[in-house]
Structure formats: C-alpha cells, structure tokens
A = this chain, B = another copy of it.
Amino acid sequence: MSNGKRITLQQAAEIIKDGSSLTFSGFTIWRRPMAIIFELIRQHRKNLHLIEVNGGSQTEFLVGAGCVDIWESCWVGHELYGKYGANLSRKVAEKKIIVEDYSHAEMLFRFTAAASGSPYAITQTSLGTDIHNPEYDMLGRAGLRDGKRIAKLKYQFTEDPFYGAGSQVLVPAAKVDIAVLCVQQVGEEGTVRVNGQYYSDPEVARAADITIVMAEEIVPEEYLRRNADQNTIASFEVDHIVECPFGAHPTGMFGRYDVDGAFLKNFYATTRTQEGYDAFAKEWIHGLDHISYLEKLGWPRMLKLRANTAMNYSPREKKGGN
C-alpha cells in the first residue's frame, strides 16, 4: 500500500521555502541529507533559520552559499577534516549571520521537548557559563523573540520545588518547520529504520511540522513491519520520502559508506574565503544534479568509501582523509 509520499530531490528542496526554519538528521559529519542541501543551494534558497542539535558539513555548505540568516546550535566543523566552521566563522565576523549559542545537551533537550509537545525542557547543564550570559541573547538583541516560533526568552532559571535540588535551567522547545533526514531505509508508507546510532533523528523528526526522509533505498513497507521493534520512526511521523543512493556524501552512513575525508578536507581548505567557496560550489554543486555529481566523484572513490557489511564501515578508507 503506497500513499503518495514519494517525491523527487527537487520537490523535496521546493518544500523548503525561503525563511523556513530547518533541522537535519545525523551528527556532525554523519548521515547529513547532503543531496537535498546541494539542491537547496542550486535553488538559491534564502533566509533560512537553522536550528540544529549540532552543526556539521551541511551547515557549512548552506552558510557558505548565503542561504542562512540564523543559526541556533552548539557546534560546527568537519571533525578531524576541518577544525572549525570556516564559512560560519567568516559570516560571523562579517555580521552576516545571527548565531544563538546553546550547549549540546540544551539543544538536544530543546528538541526532546518539542518532540513530546512540551513548550520547554528542564536541564541542569552549563550553569555559570557564558551560554547563560544575558548580554549574549542574540535573537533577543535582534528583536526576534516574538514568542511564536522563537521563544520569548533564551532560557530561564528556576528552583526545583519538589526535592530542593537547586537551580534548574529551562530551555524553550525547538520549534522547526521542516526536518530533513537521511537514513538507510524508509518504507513506502514512511516507516524509518536507522541502523547504528540514531543520534537525535527520532526527536527532530517528531519536533518538526513537516518531515522529509531521504533514504539510500525505499523498501517495501511490509519488509520493515515484519520487525517493528527494529524500526526507528513511525510511518505517520513522515510526510515525504525520497530515494537517493549516496545522498549523504560527503558525510558518512553507518553500514553503507564512510565519510569522504579527502572531500571535506578539500572543502575546508578551499572555502575559508568566499571566493574559495564560490569556486567550490561552481565546481561541485551548480550545474550538476545528483547523478552527475556521482559521476564526477567516480567509481574508485565511492568503492573505497563503501562499508564492509560485517564491520559497517570501510576498512579501505584512510581515516585521515589523505
């Protein structure tokens, strides 16, 4: 039983309008929906508000392309293939982007709250740090805290009334328009099976108003339903599905392919200036579609990255990215 959830890469990107708030599956340089990211860049999407449990290569590609006005998160970089987010760093220095800093756990609990329908979450993290410096409430400084999609307050301290456990930090639910996921398998009706660490995928899928799932393969729904306890996200939490093999490249995917370290190293090295970014985008994004991108990468590269079935990673890929 299919129900019309299947769309194309282009359609997926078109669902994401200028000014949308957006979040993603994955973790730093793993299972990022890069094929849709590239398509957004090709479609010249503007004024995006990224709200991410953590950032990574997807952030850097979008930020470098000038798609992003606001970034709320805790971290950006390419792990060992790029020490920090050079594009974000440049835009921050140029004051072309608003950055709202939270801690990693705060971001995670903000999504957990949104995913369970709570307006906020309780944590006890990061007390005493500049994350809670009231001067550094950047969305507040920009006058954007309307209490609708962006909370009235960055955070609030309160005391535990039940056990006298002391100061608690309340952080607002992460309200996002669209979550874009990149996973191993999705069923025709939307059931998602993630292999390996699922990071914060279940939370971001449930928190968003619209959830798009891009998968290495769309499989018969019935196949996934034979083992319901191995599935990660329920059918009705997913609005649209896209089949796109190697859609996470250059980020990696458990059981399928490794991170393309050399690609990311090159991206990091060449996009520290805007001119460098623009040249990189001209070569690798604009004028290509997903298939021509794969053709350009070539077979030897992808075969080297391909994961060994028993190990779920590639024993051939030199981890340093050289």
Contact = CB atoms under 8 A, between A and B. Distances in A.
B151 A162 contact: yes
B156 A161 contact: yes
Looking at A118, A119, A173, A195, the one whose CB has the most chain B CB atoms below 10 A away is A119
Contacts of A117: 124
Interface stretch (A6-14, A164-172, A280-288): A164-172
Contacts of A128: none
A308 interface: no
A152 B195 CA distance: 43
Nearest to A112: B116
Contacts of A197: 229
Interface residues of A, number: 33
A160 interface: yes
A162 B168 contact: no
A161 B158 CA distance: 11
A123 interface: yes
A4 interface: no
22 contacts: A118-B122, A118-B124, A119-B160, A119-B163, A119-B168, A120-B122, A120-B160, A120-B161, A122-B122, A147-B162, A147-B164, A151-B163, A152-B163, A152-B164, A153-B162, A156-B161, A162-B173, A163-B172, A163-B173, A196-B229, A197-B229, A230-B230
